[in-house]
Amino acid sequence: MVRHNNQIPNAHFHKHWQEYIKTRFDQPMKKIKRASRRHAKAARVFPRPPGYLRPIVRCPTLAYKNKVRLGRGFTLEELKEANIDVRVAKTIGVAVDHRRRSSNEEAFKQNVERLRVYNTKLLIFPRNPRVGPKKGDSSKEELSKAVQQKSQAGVTREKVVAEARPISDEEKKFSAVAALNKAREDKKAANKEWAKKLNKDRT
């Protein structure tokens, strides 16, 4: 019994926590289910590949910039360089992303080369088999040898391992703090010069 004018005990111990937790006991079965769906889709869209061709991009931020992965789609500039029309790209299995920008020249050339290689291996089936192939369609001999590509090629993650070497005298003398401070001072001085020139032009 509670003594004096204190709160009556009303501890809530019956929380029914079993209803609020999530378990993943079905994870192995879900994995099998996803694989069977992929196989079913590949069989359904044969001889087309199950997915779109996607570019090779690097992850953002300094921490993940060395990680290579598949992007959402090719830029308009990359398609233009590879001589592929944007309206035709999706019809031949090439993903397009009009928002991405190619700021790295090396990555730009890599993706353009990826598109060109894809274009050389591309086989276009006639829309109506009864009518026969039209201009731009592949020949019957080429179509008879068609093989379905089920995986995205070209994404290789190379592990860069630096070789051990002795530290040079220049590296021992180098001070990162001093270099950063000098760069900051140079930037401040350049901004002052720019502001002075701007005020002079206005007057």
Q: List pLDDT tens digits, range 76-97.
A: 999 999 999 999 898 888 999 9
Of the given ranges (8-22, 52-66, 86-100), which has the lowest mean pLDDT?
A: 8-22
Structural contact between residues 106 and 68, judged by C-beta atoms closer than 8 angstroms:
no
Is it the case that residue 64 has pLDDT exceeding 70?
yes
Which two structure tokens, joined as six digits, stand for 82?
A: 């590879």
Omega cis (within 30) before 47: yes
Is it the case that residue 144 has pLDDT exceeding 90?
no
Structural contact between residues 95 and 53, judged by C-beta atoms closer than 8 angstroms:
yes
What pLDDT shows up at residue 15?
A: 83
Q: Is 21 helix (H, G, I), strand (E, B) or coil?
A: coil
Which two structure tokens, joined as six digits, stand for 75?
A: 């830029």
What pLDDT shows up at residue 27?
A: 95
pLDDT, the chain, mean: 85
Average pLDDT over residues 38-67: 87
How confident is residue 133, by pLDDT bands cut at 50, 70 and 90?
low
Is it the case that residue 119 has pLDDT exceeding 70?
yes
